[in-house]
Amino acid sequence: MWGGRFESGPGAIMEAINVSIDFDRHLYRQDIAASKAHAGMLAKQGIITADDAKKIAHGLDTILSEIESGKFKFKRALEDIHMNVEARLTEMIGAPAGRLHTARSRNDQVATDFRLWMRDTIDATDSALADFQRALAQKALEHADTVMPGLTHLQTAQPVTFGHHMLAYVEMTARDRGRFADARKRLNESPLGSGALAGTSFDLDRAMTAKALGFDRPSANSLDAVSDRDFAMETLSAASITAVHLSRLAEEIVIWTSPLTGLAKLSDKYTTGSSMMPQKRNPDAAELVRAKAGRIIGAMNALMIVMKGLPLAYAKDMQEDKEGVMDALSALSLSIAAMAGMVADLEPDTRRMHQAAGEGYATATDLADWLVQALKIPFREAHHITGRIVGKAADAGVALDALPLAAMQAIEPRITKDVFNVLSVERSVKSRACYGGTAPKNVRSQAQKWLKKLEKGQD
């Protein structure tokens, strides 16, 4: 492909380090689509003949069919997807194939292909995240009234509902989808026609190829167009934050399904056994999702490190962009599917959750709030009184709602029997009815709203 400048081929090590077909073969659909758009534009502009453009388009369609049927033979000696397709096209149609590369470089070609691939992958990721949200919202609706312990510092804090907990991840995932949508919007410019770095002297219609490929517009600066990988870094950033969210829920599932807490169960679909210990049921799917977050975050770091020292415009370093991105987004896709499946499969132990929700004096805040509302005591003073009452209950080894009224009145004489109306976990969650709170009626309303939005395809 180098023409007459080189008298011999590369050495074996050079060929091995230079080749990219092992991973950029995944760009074949995008490469063929971009080549068809380019050929059509060249014909319209009179740069190549309509007959040559027709032969090129037919040949590319045949190659697409060959690749998708598994008949196409990728050759490492041809380095990348672009040269593999072009070489096969030359075998099929001869000289017209050589005209396809008029007014383009592999630099703008790969930049275009990669953006198209990233756009397709973002769309698939968004659809998967919507399915994940749907599973979460459905589980939330089913368990709007299921009380569980709400934790801070992994210590019992206040009672919440399991449905409210699930909806927290619906909100996180909505932000994830928003970040992917933002990345998609910014990447949707066509580099095709930028050439190697300086543009081209041919009279191209770049708006035509941009429109044909579904881009919003052609890129405005040829140097930036061929050297930009912001779109990959931004998408990996969105993927990394999503992976962190998935990992947090995976960690909770590991905790909930441990016999030490016994708050929930996963079926055989998402657990494995032990080769030595026959009693074990390991939450391996959740653990692997948790681990893949590191892999995805690592890919983002790797690409940023590749790009940080590169002057304009293109450098071969940038060939290292695709393998990590493709691996990371594949890992994310699998993680999302696994988490959606686990959420649907997860069965809370409602009795154990209710019991745990009342442990650790979880309704102490409700007692303090009652003192403020019923006795008009300043909150700081109510907080101190409640702390003393909790201490007395702990010394007696009883729950707050089992502590005798007289014991409370020994600390604050104005307390009445009405205080017991706020000390149950059910009344606690029911009272958190302000917007965004954990009250069951809130959870039902939010879950139904999300399910309706997702049904309509809204995010």
Report which residue type is found at 294: G
Instruction: Please provide the distance, in angstroms rounded to a whole number, between the alpha carbons at the two ends of the chain.
Output: 47
Task: Out of 8, 153, 201, 275, pick the active-site residue.
Answer: 153
How distant is the alpha carbon of residue 199 from its chain centre? Answer: 35
Which residues touch 54 (CB under 8 Å, ≥6 apart)?
Answer: none
Please state, in angstroms and rounded to a whole number, the distance separating the CA atoms of residues 260 and 238: 34
Please state, in angstroms and rounded to a whole number, the distance separating the CA atoms of residues 45 and 99: 14
Largest CA distance in the chain: 100
Please state, in angstroms and rounded to a whole number, the distance separating the CA atoms of residues 328 and 303: 11
Q: Is 245 a catalytic residue?
A: no
Please say whether the beta carbons of 277 and 270 come within 8 A. Answer: no
Render the burial of 25-56: b for 16+ CB within 10 Å, e for the rest.
bbbbebbbbbbbbbbbbbbeeebbeeebbebb
Mutual angle of helices 50-69 and 81-93, in 10-degree steps: 120
Which residues touch 264 (CB under 8 Å, ≥6 apart)?
Answer: 253, 256, 257, 346, 347, 348, 349, 353
Nearest to 341 by CA among 123, 127, 136, 161: 136
Task: Out of 65, 258, 267, 274, pick the active-site residue.
Answer: 274
Nearest to 141 by CA among 442, 358, 453: 442
Q: Is 26 a catalytic residue?
A: no
Please say whether the beta carbons of 299 and 324 come within 8 A. Answer: yes
Please state, in angstroms and rounded to a whole number, the distance separating the CA atoms of residues 62 and 43: 20
How distant is the alpha carbon of residue 221 from its chain centre? Answer: 30
Please state, in angstroms and rounded to a whole number, the distance separating the CA atoms of residues 425 and 363: 7
Kindly state the tokens that stand for 333: 């896709």
Helix (H, G, I), strand (E, B) or coil at 3: coil
Enumerate the active-site residues. 153, 274
